[in-house]
Amino acid sequence: MEHSRTRELGTGLFIFLGFAALLFLATQTTDLEEYGGDTGYLVTARFDDVAGLKVRSPVTMAGVNVGRVESIAFDNDRLDAVVSMRINPKFNKIPDDSDASILTAGLLGSKYVGLGPGGSDTYLKESSEVEMTQSAIVLEQMVSKFLFSQAEKGGGSTGSDQAPADE
Say how far apart CA 79 and CA 44 lie, in whole Å: 15
- For residues 37-64, give the mean pLDDT: 89
Q: pLDDT higher for 92 or 145?
A: 92
The pTM of the whole model exceeds 0.85: no
Considering just the CA atoms, what is the radius of gyration of the chain in Å?
26
| Digit-coded pLDDT (tens) for 80-138 | 999 999 999 999 999 999 999 999 887 777 889 999 999 999 999 998 899 999 887 77
Neighbours of 133 (CB within 10 A): 18
Query: Looking at the DSSP assignment, which residues form a beta bridge with residue 69?
Result: 85
Mean pLDDT of the chain: 83
> 113 and 57 in contact (C-beta within 8 Å)?
yes
Q: pLDDT higher for 31 or 68?
A: 68
Of 38, 39, 47, 101, which is closest to residue 73 (Cα–Cα)?
47
